[in-house]
Structure 1
Amino acid sequence: MRRLGAVLLVSAVLLLSAAPDAAARGFKVYGVEAPARGETEAVYWADYVVAGGKGSADGLWRHTVEIDYSFSERWTLGVFGDFEDTKEGSLRYAQARFLLRTKVLDVSPSGAGLAFRVVYDFPENWYRSYEQVEVRMIFEQFFGIWNVRLNPIFEKKTSGPDVTDGLSFAYAAGVYRPVAPSVSAGIELHGGIGEIRDRDPTPKQRHYVVPTIRWKVNKRLSWEVGAAVGYTREADDFTLKSLLEYRF
């Protein structure tokens, strides 16, 4: 079982990294673990576009405030507020998102863990002209000191002029290892191909490689930072990310 899990995870990561529109908001590869029952997690996300490339998003700040609450060992509810701040203007509210998450399998020495996240977006008209639902599968397994995570992501527009569009596919994947007692480092891949049945030409896709460092300050507080480097024409060239997480 463990060998099968290893083959599936490694094969999927290789496939996705070679795959030919993932928004550059909140670069994060999720693991199976969620807050414990009765526990709340507050997260502040911040991305800063240092060099926006063709999209000319230089100087753009993206902010997200997230609150999650686990009402059982398997189920979690959450809400997000997204904001943007350009160098030309002031902070603007972009959208609300609502989360339902369930853990199906715990990570174990003999096999991969599995969880699902369903997120529904309610954007402001200036930010995006349609609502959408996102379903993210979360696979996670340990191989010695190495932690491997894979998040296939399926998105569907539920309103707007293009509501008849089919499923879109995106991905997030990462490999991590400890480098100090409370610090881990890793490398992540993020991106997407657009609609599955009519995928975007490779130059129009957005793909990123993201080195990351995570510091577990104490049992409640952790901080993750990274630098996203876009390697397709439509991707932002260089984006800094920061995630502060606190559980209580």
Structure 2
Amino acid sequence: MRKFILFTFALIAITIQVKAQDNYEIQVYGSETVEQGHTMVELHSNYTLDGSKTVIDGELPTNHVFHETIEITHGWTPWFETGFYFFNSIGSDGRTAYVGSHIRPRVAAPESWKWPVGVSISTEFGFQKSAFSANTATLEIRPIIDKKMGKWYLSFNPTLDQSFAGPDANRGLIFSPNFKQSYDITKVVALGFEYYGSTGPFFNYDPIQQQQHQIFIATDLNFDPNWEFNAGFGLGLTNSTDRSIIKMIIGRRF
């Protein structure tokens, strides 16, 4: 079994090389997968308070736009899950549009390995309409490393993105690191910050103002093991990043 799991990790890392997250799923992943035989249904909602106001590379402006993503994830084994995404956008004129869909298999290091940190690898492939993402076919490799230390929680996602159609198709792997740190204020409430970045091609980074860097002040509510809740307010730190966004994630395990 252990050799099979290691082979699965290696196969995913070799065969899959995307900017999947953008402003549709603003989340730093934890390493745990959904329990075997269970299904998690999540709604990712965010609103861009101050974003782009002109068409860029054929993409519609993001200013005063809602993004609504439905995510359905099923756990097949104690260490393997598959997620499905349906991206939607509600424009400033109230018009709703279907944006695209992704599929995301993920494998995790089993607890029986007794590693000092949680580790998993998520891969996400899909398509989106060019009016909402100039890169219309993308793939993401997201290693996930996290650790719970008393009341502190840390998670690092050193993500690599690859576009197959669009302006970034020939740029190679794009480095998009994400990081989360939180502290349990009470048994229910955790407060912390989340960082989301996109620095350009690996080892050939873009000028700083062309990179994307966002910091979110965020809270997690742990009022029931079958429910998930995360909300936050984010600020963009460069010219290429939406200036301010509010987000909320609510999920339910079945």
2:104 pairs with 1:104: no
Which residue is 1:13 aligned to?
A: none
| CA displacement at 1:105 relative to structure 2 | 4.9
Partner amino acid, structure 1, of 2:186:
A
Which residue is 1:174 aligned to?
A: 180
Which residue is 1:28 aligned to?
A: 27
2:157 pairs with 1:158: no
Q: Percent identity?
A: 21
| Structure 2 residue matching 1:195: 3-state secondary structure | coil
Which residue is 1:206 aligned to?
A: 212
Contact kept in structure 2, 1:95 and 1:127, CA below 8 Å: no
Which residue is 1:4 aligned to?
A: none
Aligned residues: 228
Moved more, 104-113 or 70-79: 104-113
Output the CA distance in 2 between the equivalents of 1:27 and 1:124: 19
Moved more, 229-238 or 111-120: 229-238
Structure 1 gaps of 5+ residues are 1-20
2:91 pairs with 1:91: no
Which residue is 2:16 aligned to?
A: none
Partner amino acid, structure 2, of 1:24:
N
Partner amino acid, structure 2, of 1:35:
V
| Structure 1 residue matching 2:165: 3-state secondary structure | coil
Output the CA distance in 2 between the equivalents of 1:124 and 1:180: 42
Describe the superposition over 1:4-38 as per-residue Cα deviations: whole angstroms up to 9, x where unpaired.
xxxxxxxxxxxxxxxxx872332211111121100
| Structure 2 residue matching 1:190: 3-state secondary structure | strand
Output the CA distance in 1 between the equivalents of 2:110 and 2:198: 26
Query: How large is the RMSD of aligned CA atoms in angstroms?
Result: 2.2
Moved more, 191-200 or 91-100: 191-200
Partner amino acid, structure 1, of 2:29:
Y
Which residue is 2:48 aligned to?
A: 49
Output the CA distance in 2 between the equivalents of 1:159 and 1:112: 36
